[in-house]
Amino acid sequence: MAGKNGKQTVRNMVLSLGVSVLAAGVIYLFVPHDETPPELKRVDYRVELLTARRAASYPVAAPEGLPQSWKATSVRFQGDNFDAWHLGFHDPDGQYVAVEQSAQKPSTFIEDATQRAEETSTQKIGDQVWRRYEGERYDALVLEGQGVTTVVTGSAPFARLTEMAEALKAEALKTE
């Protein structure tokens, strides 16, 4: 009798496993699984911009006049970290573009902000000459000023980086 009981136990285990796999398959078919990335929320950066312009040791840059199709997605000002300003966007094609500024030593800041991209050439934007950097992950436009380095960087092509650089307006709002 022991032999027959052992065969039934194995048979019952196989049947239980089959029912479990079938139930998991049915659940998988009926549970929706969307592969598209979630929609990024637009951030309002006006308060942080005013704060940065009051506190930073340099005129803080932000775009003016960009079409609504440019979506601001991240913003931060770190006064305790060389007055570091970051403003991130998604361009109309969904590519990333960021404005980075800092009073940090230019060589260190540029290496970090461009993610170790290499300088390749220069480009005139308005009345200023920006340096172009090309990298594996991001390309960048770099402008060094008195006490501040501005980097426009991202996964977007140079045409979009240039569009952002053209839209930048730098201001300082010092309180007495």
Q: Categorize the per-residue pLDDT at 6 as very low, low, confident or very high, splitting at 50, 70 and 90.
A: low
* Residue whose structure tokens are 């991130």: 88
Structure pTM? 0.79
104 Cβ partners below 8 Å, 6+ apart? Answer: 81, 82, 84, 149
Helices (H), 56-115: 106-113
Amino acid identity, residue 118?
E
* 8 A C-beta contact, residue 131 and residue 141: yes
Q: Answer yes or no: is pLDDT of 4 > 70.
A: no
CA distance 112 to 92: 26
Q: Categorize the per-residue pLDDT at 9 as very low, low, confident or very high, splitting at 50, 70 and 90.
A: confident
Question: What is the β-pairing status of strands 139-144 and 128-134?
Answer: antiparallel
Amino acid identity, residue 130?
W
Over the stretch 85-95, which tens digit does the pLDDT of each residue have? 999 999 999 99
Q: How far, in whole angstroms, is CA 44 from its chain's centroid?
A: 16
